[in-house]
Amino acid sequence: MAERIPFELHLLQSEIQRNLSASAAAYFRIGIGEYLNTERKTWENYQAAVGNLAISIELMLKAFVAHKCFRKLYVSLPDELDIFLSDTSQAPKSIVFCPFENALRTFEFKTIDLDRAIALYGIYFPKEKSELHSYFAFLSATRNVSVHAALPDFQRFDLARVSYLAIKLMQHLAKEGVIFEPSHLRPQTNQILKQFDRERIERVTVVIKRARENAKRLTGTKSSIIVDPDDFRCLAIPCPICGSDVYVSGETENDTRSEDEPSLTFHPDSFACEECGLEIPDARDFGLVGLDEVYDRSDRFNEWCQQYAEWQ
Ligand SMILES: [Zn+2]
């Protein structure tokens, strides 16, 4: 609770959040500039755009964590500092905050990784996280490669996906008062969003058509797979075009509203059928081909609870 935090800690927390926000905005400006450059040059040298935008997304999320749940920004803290940040009003008098102040300011303590920051974002903003989860999953899978190595198979569409996520996240966290959005970029970023959504639908329409043609040429029996029913990070979903089972990764969320009606919902990240080539990277487009955006897994609620307890 903010009122319990000593004034100096409150100031320090704001300073760290401001610094993270400023860095996020700086990488965002460079990334969007590089995106527009790359677009003009027929998508050559996209790597600078991807790298800068990926770093910007990570910094935005960390700025949000610093703002909403400061202690969670750090992976492991010395016990004294951990206790102090947990509840400053109850902390033993033997703990002196001063020596830790500079270490926090200069990021001497290791901060959380991208996946953890995304998970925390989901706890505070489940709706926004759910809307963007296909993009977060993609970024999480490609982030290290994009920042540290070349991306030979990276497509123009993938760069657009990273840009889309960066812009949506920037707009949301600016609205929440966490980040100061570079307002002069608004016309360009709105344009990028509009163009992305238009091309997204066009692209899926083409992919569906091609998959239908491929499916006509498939002669063998439909492939079926078996996945562990208690693995809550994946599901086998039949392909709506060719009928083959497709392994789909995603997240299971507990959205139980009352104890009498436990409810678990699986959110697939994306869909890719190796048999007919149907590939839909954004769960929002699943409806275009008759796939559900979410899947009910409430029948495994007890198993999920057991696993969840083991994770603690
Ligand atoms: Zn298929």
CA of residue 281 to ligand 1 center, whole Å: 14
- Classified as helix, coil or strand, 286 is helix
| CB atoms closer than 10 angstroms to residue 58 | 23
Among the listed residues 231, 202, 218, the one whose alpha carbon sits nearest the alpha carbon of residue 300: 231
In whole angstroms, give the CA distance from residue 191 to residue 196: 8
CA of residue 254 to ligand 1 center, whole Å: 29
pTM of this prediction?
A: 0.86
- Classified as helix, coil or strand, 133 is helix
- Classified as helix, coil or strand, 92 is coil
CA of residue 251 to ligand 1 center, whole Å: 22
Domain boundary assignment for the chain: 2-181, 186-312
pLDDT along the chain (312 residues), means of 10: 60 93 96 89 76 95 95 91 80 81 87 95 93 92 71 76 96 95 93 93 93 88 81 93 93 85 92 94 91 93 83 50
Return the pLDDT at 235: 94
Looking at residue 274, the DSSP 8-state letter turns out to be T
CA of residue 276 to ligand 1 center, whole Å: 4
Pull the structure tokens for residue 54.
């990926």
In whole angstroms, give the CA distance from residue 210 to residue 206: 6
Return the pLDDT at 1: 39
CA of residue 187 to ligand 1 center, whole Å: 39
CA of residue 232 to ligand 1 center, whole Å: 23
Pull the structure tokens for residue 103.
């270490």
CA 302 to the chain's CA centroid: 27
CA of residue 274 to ligand 1 center, whole Å: 7
113 sits in which H/E element: none
CA of residue 193 to ligand 1 center, whole Å: 29
Return the pLDDT at 2: 41
CA of residue 160 to ligand 1 center, whole Å: 25
Return the pLDDT at 155: 73
CA dihedral 236, 239, 245, 249 (to 10 degrees): -30
Among the listed residues 180, 174, 23, the one whose alpha carbon sits nearest the alpha carbon of residue 107: 23
CA of residue 217 to ligand 1 center, whole Å: 12
Alpha helices in 151-185 (DSSP H): 156-175
In whole angstroms, give the CA distance from residue 136 to residue 253: 16
CA of residue 239 to ligand 1 center, whole Å: 5
Return the pLDDT at 56: 97
Rg (the chain; Cα; Å)? 22
CA of residue 282 to ligand 1 center, whole Å: 16
Return the pLDDT at 184: 93
C-alpha distances out from residue 91 to 82, 83, 99, 197, 295, Å: 10, 6, 16, 50, 45
CA of residue 277 to ligand 1 center, whole Å: 6
In whole angstroms, give the CA distance from residue 125 to residue 89: 28
Alpha helices in 72-185 (DSSP H): 79-86, 98-105, 114-124, 126-148, 156-175
Report the phi/psi class of residue 243: left, alpha or beta, with left for phi > 0 and alpha for psi in -120 to 50.
left
CA of residue 120 to ligand 1 center, whole Å: 34
Q: Roughly how many angstroms between the first and final C-alpha of the chain, as a whole number? A: 24
E-assigned strand segments in the chain: 234-238, 245-254, 264-268, 271-272, 279-280, 295-296
In whole angstroms, give the CA distance from residue 184 to residue 186: 6
CA of residue 298 to ligand 1 center, whole Å: 27
Q: Are residues 167 and 193 in contact, defined by beta-carbon separation less than 8 angstroms?
A: yes
- Which position has the token pair 């964590």? 65
Q: Are residues 266 and 295 in contact, defined by beta-carbon separation less than 8 angstroms?
A: yes
